[in-house]
């Protein structure tokens, strides 16, 4: 994922999260991408970005802030946090998400992380369970729950 991809990434995010949560600002997405670009990818079809995955090294049991125009990778990061993945509606069901996820999993293993983590929002928990994630009970502050759209589930997968 390059800086030049960010308008398309932001557009896909805005479309995919309608009615689920307020989209993150492009500055916030860019802060995460630029903090660790080697774990952020786009899927391209006919020269158009049709999906993306943003992940950053993080600390197990902690959830990054949304809409933060800065992103500092925490000292001692022990997992690769899948911050966001979205696919354009035109490419839904065509395996784009699986390809992006495979890149994420391979990068996590290459970095030596033993665990993949994410925060499922809205109705996404079922999707992530199909990919092998399990719920990890986590005390999440009400402000963090509200920030993530009101319905969040912290999940992990050993790799």
pLDDT in tens, 114-132: 999 999 988 899 999 999 9
| Dihedral sign, Cα of residue 137, residue 34, residue 28, residue 44 | negative
Residue 143 confidence class, pLDDT cut points 50, 70, 90: confident
Residue 16 CB-density burial (10 A; 0-12 exposed, 13-18 middle, 19+ buried)? middle
Ordered by start, the domain boundaries in the chain are 3-158
| Tens digit of each residue's pLDDT (9 = 90 or more) over 9-50 | 999 999 988 877 778 899 999 999 999 999 999 999 999 999
3-state secondary structure of 87: strand
3-158 has which CATH code? 3.40.630.30
**Strand, helix or coil at 112?**
coil
Report whether 98 contacts 61 (CB < 8 A): no
For 44, 65, 90, the CA distances from 95, given in Å and listed in that order, are 13, 29, 12
**pLDDT attached to residue 133:** 97
Query: Each residue of 132-141: pLDDT tens digit?
Result: 999 998 888 8
Tell me, what DSSP letter sits at residue 53? E
Predicted TM-score (pTM) of this structure: 0.93
Q: What is the mean pLDDT of the chain?
A: 92
pLDDT one-digit tens code per residue, 42-90: 999 999 999 999 999 999 999 988 888 999 999 999 999 999 999 998 8
């Amino acid at each position: 994922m390059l800086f030049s991809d960010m308008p398309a990434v932001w557009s896909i995010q805005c479309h995919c999260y309608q009615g689920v949560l307020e989209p993150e600002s492009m500055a916030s997405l860019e802060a995460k991408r630029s903090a660790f670009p080697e774990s952020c990818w786009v899927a391209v079809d006919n020269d158009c970005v049709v999906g993306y995955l943003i992940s950053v090294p993080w600390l197990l049991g902690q959830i990054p802030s949304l809409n933060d125009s800065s992103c500092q990778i925490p000292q001692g990061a022990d997992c690769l946090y899948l911050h966001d993945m979205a696919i354009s509606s035109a490419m839904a069901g065509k395996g784009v998400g699986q390809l992006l996820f495979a890149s994420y999993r391979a990068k996590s293993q290459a970095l030596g992380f033993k665990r993949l983590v994410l925060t499922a929002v809205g109705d996404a928990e079922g999707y992530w369970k199909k990919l092998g994630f399990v719920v990890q009970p986590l005390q999440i502050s009400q402000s963090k729950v509200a920030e993530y759209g009101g319905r969040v589930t912290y999940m992990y997968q050993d790799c």
